[in-house]
Amino acid sequence: MKKELKVIGKSAPKLDADIRVSGKAVYGHDIELPGMLHGSILRTAHPCAEILSIDTSEAEALPGVICIITADDVDVNNISYKRDHPILKKGTVNCNRDEIAAVAAITKDIAKKALKLIKVDYRIKEGVYNPLEALKSDAPKINEFGKGEEQFGNKNIAESFHYEHGDLEAEKAKSKVIIKRTYQLPRVTHACMATSNITADFNKLDGRLTLWSSTQVPFLYQRDIAHALKMEPSKIRIIQPVIGGGFGSKLDMHPFEPICCLLAMKAGKPVQILYSREEEFILSPTRQPMIIELTTGADENGKFTFREVEIIKDNGAYTSWGATTPFVMMQTFSSLYQAPACKFDSHAIYTNNPFAGSFRGYGNPQATFALETNIDLMAEELGMDQDKIRLINANYKGEITGQGLHFKTCGAIPALEKVIEKSNFQVSAIPHDKGRFRKGIGLASMLHVGGGAKIYRSDGCGTTLKLDDYGYLTIVTGSNEIGQGSETVLAMIAMEELGISREKIKVINTDTDVKPWDVGVHASRTSFVAGNSLLGAIKLLKEKLNKKATELLGVVTDDWDYADGKMTFNEFEISLDKVSREIHFGFPHELCTVTYFYEPPSKFQDKEFKGDVSGNYAFAAQAIEVEVDTVTGNVTVLNTHVSQDVGRVLNPMGLQGQMEGGMATGIGYALTEEMIYEKGELKNPSFHGYKILTTMDMPPVHFYPIETYDEAGPYGSKGAGEAPLIPTAAAIANAVANALGVRFYSLPITAEKVLRALAEKKKEVSQNESLKTN
Residues forming the site for another protein (CB under 8 A): 107-109, 276, 436, 630-634, 671-672, 676, 683-684, 687-689, 691, 693-697, 750-752, 755-756, 759
Which CB sits closer to another protein, 70 or 750? 750
How far is 274 from 290, CA to CA, in rounded Å? 30
Q: Taking a C-beta distance cutoff of 8 angstroms, is the pair 176, 738 a contact?
A: no
Nearer to another protein, 634 or 656 (CB): 634
Spell out the long-range contacts of 221-224 with Cβ–Cβ below 8 A and sequence spacing 24 or more: 221/253, 221/257, 221/520, 222/512, 224/79, 224/253
Taking a C-beta distance cutoff of 8 angstroms, is the pair 42, 97 a contact? Answer: no
Helix axes 486-498, 526-553, angle to 10 degrees: 20
Rounded to whole angstroms, the Cα distance separating 251 from 325 reads 13
How far apart are CB 307 and another protein at their closest, in Å?
33
CB of 640 to another protein, least distance (A): 16
Give min distance, CB of 691 to another protein, in A.
4
Nearer to another protein, 111 or 416 (CB): 111
How buried is 551 (Cβ within 10 angstroms: 0-12 exposed, 13-18 middle, 19+ buried)? middle
| Cβ contacts of 10 within 8 Å, gap of 6 or more | 651, 652
C-alpha span between 531 and 648 (Å, rounded):
13
**Nearest alpha carbon to residue 358 among 325, 332, 328:** 325
User: What is residue 537's three-state secondary structure?
Assistant: helix
Question: Measured from the CB atom, is 298 or 663 closer to another protein?
Answer: 663
**Could you tell me the sign of the dihedral formed by the alpha carbons of 694, 481, 323, 662, in that order?**
negative
Judged by beta carbon, residue 98 or residue 673, the one nearer another protein is: 673
Cβ distance 732 to 667 under 8 Å?
A: yes
Instruction: State which residue, 171 or 673, has the beta carbon closest to another protein.
Output: 673
Q: Pick the closer one to another protein by CB: 67 or 671.
A: 671
Minimum distance between the CB of residue 757 and another protein, rounded to whole angstroms? 12
The nearer residue to another protein, 501 or 632, going by C-beta atoms, is 632
CB of 431 to another protein, least distance (A): 21
Closest CA to 495 of 453, 435, 547, 538: 538
Q: Distances from the Cα of 472 to the Cαs of 5, 592, 593, in angstroms?
A: 21, 11, 12
Supply the minimum distance, in Å, between the C-beta of residue 672 and another protein: 5
- Measured distance CA(333)–CA(313) in Å, rounded: 16
Q: 3-state class of 297 per DSSP?
A: strand
The Cα–Cα gap between 208 and 232 comes to: 9
Q: Which helix (H) or strand (E) segment is 327 a member of?
A: helix 326-335
Neighbours of 406 (CB within 10 A): 15
| DSSP-derived pairing of the beta strands 593-598 and 461-467 | antiparallel
Which residues have a Cβ under 8 Å from the Cβ of 764 and sit 6 or more positions away? none
Closer CB to another protein, 604 or 687, in the complex: 687
Cross-strand partners of 51 = 122
Nearest-approach distance from CB 694 to another protein, in angstroms = 5
Closer residue to another protein in complex, CB, 492/757? 757
Q: In what order do the strands lie in the sheet with 473-477?
A: 505-508, 473-477, 461-467, 593-598
Q: How far is CA 12 from the centre of its chain?
A: 24
108 vs 172 by CB, closer to another protein: 108
Question: Does residue 322 sit in helix, strand or coil?
Answer: helix
Q: How far is the CB of 705 from another protein (least distance, A)?
A: 29
**Phi and psi torsions of 22, nearest 5°:** -95, 0
CB of residue 315 to another protein, shortest distance in Å = 24
Collapsing DSSP states into helix, strand and coil, what is residue 240?
Answer: coil
We find the least distance from the C-beta atom of residue 16 to another protein, in angstroms, to be 24
Residue type at 661 in one-letter notation: G
Nearer to another protein by C-beta: 435 or 588? 435
Rg for the chain, CA atoms, rounded:
28
Query: 758: Cβ–Cβ under 8 A, 6 or more apart, which residues?
Result: 630, 633, 740, 742
Identity of the amino acid at 49: A
Q: How far is the CB of 605 from another protein (least distance, A)?
A: 41
Report DSSP state, residue 286.
B
Closer CB to another protein, 205 or 696, in the complex: 696
Q: Nearest approach, Cβ of 345 to another protein (angstroms)? A: 34
**Whole-number minimum distance, CB 693 to another protein, in Å?**
6
**Minimum CB distance to another protein, residue 127 (Å):** 20
Q: Which residues lie across from 586 on neighbouring strands?
A: none
- Whether 323 and 159 have beta carbons less than 8 Å apart is answered as yes
| CB-nearer residue toward another protein: 508 or 692 | 692
Q: Report the nearest approach of another protein to the CB of residue 603 (Å).
A: 45
Pick 106 or 755: Cβ nearer another protein: 755
Q: Indicate the residue among 108 and 406 with the shorter CB distance to another protein.
A: 108
Shortest Cβ distance from residue 739 to another protein (Å)? 17
